[in-house]
Structure 1
Amino acid sequence: MSRAGKKKSRKGQHRHFNNPEEIEAQMKEVESNRYRERTEIESDSSESESDDEHGAKKGVEGLIEIENPNRVTNKMKKASQLDTETASKPQLSRREREEIEKQQARVRYQKMHAEGKTDEAKADLARLAIIRKQREENAKKKEEERKAKEAKAQASKKR
């Protein structure tokens, strides 16, 4: 049977293995370089005490001085400082602010409406005044009709 459909995998063809002696030699070289760097740094730190403030430097940190604005350093704070920070007003999100503003606007509108200062309240009051006049007129007409009926009833009794 043939394997016409399968492709050969190229993985693992060019593997290179180091001898254990080479690895040990490299490790010794790296260690000796570290030792030399430590002695140089210690001699420099004895001249200036600025490295002691920041603690021990790792790798190339001692060689390159950078200021990372995103790096957070833990600073000791007094209790009085913490109280002032927590006592400040909490920041509200845009949705929360808008919701509070809506509620305040609704309360103001209801107060103005109750006092009759809004356009809608004025229209309602005008409509109520018209309805009152119509009811008064209807009541007068009914009273006149009732009096007219009574007058007819008395006239028919006298006859």
Structure 2
Amino acid sequence: MGRGKFKGKPTGRRNFSTPEEMIAGTSARPRTFKAEEAEDKEEETEEEAEDDSGEETERRKGIEGIIQIENPNLVKPKTTKAREADLEKTTELSRREREEIEKQKAHERYMRLQEQGKTEQARKDLERLTLIRQQRAEAAKKREEEKAAKEQKKVEARK
């Protein structure tokens, strides 16, 4: 049965260098091939850099280096520095932002008219309120009359 991706790495045994070995520059750890390979690549890049010192070439992916493409729709990002930024320049609002602001203003206008009683809904509400006030006033009068009638009956019953 296979042991997975850690097949060749024994665990539990670690060799640490002592301070004396570190000062002397020798250690118990053997050098690996990967470290040597990385050093070789560094040497090659240094040599290439010396050869191409006169030319500035950009590394490009895929066929970008072979085919020169001019895309008119491609907008290169413009970086602006803080000191060059225009503080007086007003930014254009997007359609959604404009619509949201207009909606808020319309709502505020409607609420103002509503408070003044100039809208249809406000008129209907006021009419409803007057009807309710009249009904309550009539109900209060009836209660007062009934109370007075009860008191009169009590007075007559005592006599």
TM bucket, shorter chain: 0.3 to 0.5
TM-score, length-normalised on structure 1? 0.45
Which structure shows the bigger proportion of residues in helix conformation? 1
Larger Rg, first or second structure (1 or 2): 1
Answer 1 or 2: higher relative contact order, Cα 8 Å, separation at least 6.
2
TM-score, length-normalised on structure 2? 0.45
